[in-house]
Amino acid sequence: HHEAIRFATERNGASVRKFALFDEASTATVDGIVTRVHDAVRPATRVLGITWVHSSTGMRLPVRQIAEALREVNRGRAGNERVLLVVDGVHGLGAADETVAAMGCDFFCAGAHKWIFGPRGTGIVWARAENWARLKPLIPSFSDSELFTAWTEERPPAGPSNANQVTPGGFLAFEHQWAMGAAFRMHQQMGRARVAGRIRELNGRCKAGLQEIRGVKLHTPLDPELSAGICCFEVEGLSPDAVVKALLARKIVASTSPYKVSYARLAAGLFNTPKEVDTAVAAVRTLATA
């Protein structure tokens, strides 16, 4: 997504500016994050891009409150000057009890292979009709009949752009589409609130356990409203890679955050149990006291 931003800005002659939403994820607050967003918006700002759940720290941003702050900013702006809120939601979709259409974002994008258990390489882009209309398709769509009709009649396509026109192009990968449907139906059958509650319960248990271990620094907020299904931490005297290898030797799967500043990560999912969480925490305790 960082490269997508770079490509888009180079193509359109725009610029990108980055700012910190907090100093420390573990001590961040909703008001503090929203204030930084509000203060960072300038008259020339047209798009704010955020990641709902940070895989670097486990932080879950307060998207609704950020959207409300942008509504206040946009209240005095003309339509083509308002700030659009674009959300990368890959680690929140399927892990949090939220309705995308009610969050207040203008565009919501997410791969479905994480918490939804959909096929790799397939995701969703959600937007309201008026926001699709702002876009200019780059690749011919195979999904919108108006494009074909306009071609046969030798005229421009009628009406504004829509979701069917803004596609990767080519024929649909039907096996991926069928798998997506199955994954979403599975979540609907289990119940979104139940799924999110289970993830919150297990990862809350994990965070609470890690927080109590001397020599372990938890970077993910304890507040369940500012976290989801990722627990990021450090063990004093050990690199993140060393922590992951040591846990794997104990048959516990962890990972490192693939960023300039890297932490060890545990993520309790639907298939885990409280006992397994306790086992993982106990293993980290052993590493910290070795």
- Please say whether the beta carbons of 77 and 106 come within 8 A: no
**CATH number of the domain enclosing 171:** 3.40.640.10
Residues 229 and 243 in one domain: yes
Whether residues 225 and 159 share a domain: the answer is no
Per-residue pLDDT, 261: 93
pLDDT digit string, tens, across residues 207-239: 999 999 999 999 999 999 999 999 999 999 999
Helix (H, G, I), strand (E, B) or coil at 114: coil
The mean pLDDT value of the chain amounts to 95
Average pLDDT of the segment spanning 110-131: 93
Domain extent, residue 6, equals: 2-190
Number of structural domains found in the chain: 2
Pairing of strands 255-256, 216-218: unpaired
Per residue in 51-92, pLDDT tens? 999 999 999 999 999 999 999 999 989 988 999 999 999 999
Query: Do 135 and 46 fall within a single domain?
Result: yes
CA neighbor of 34 nearest in space, from 17, 14, 46, 48: 48
- As given in the structure block, the two tokens for residue 265 are 């990560």
Tell me: the pLDDT tens digits for 161-176?
A: 999 999 888 888 889 9
Backbone angles phi, psi at 255, to 5 degrees: -150, 170
191 token code pair: 């119940």
Q: How many CB atoms lie within 10 A of CB 101?
A: 11
- Is there a single domain that holds both residue 220 and residue 163? no
- Which percentage of the chain shows pLDDT scores above 90? 88
Query: What would the mean pLDDT of 192-203 be, rounded to a whole number?
Result: 97
Q: Clarify whether residues 111 and 9 are in a common domain.
A: yes
Same domain, 179 and 257: no
Say what the pTM is. 0.93
DSSP codes joined into one string, 182-245? HHHHHHHHH-HHHHHHHHHHHHHHHHHHHHTSTTEEE-S-SSGGGB-S-EEEEETTS-HHHHHH
User: Domain check: are 255 and 122 in the same one?
Assistant: no
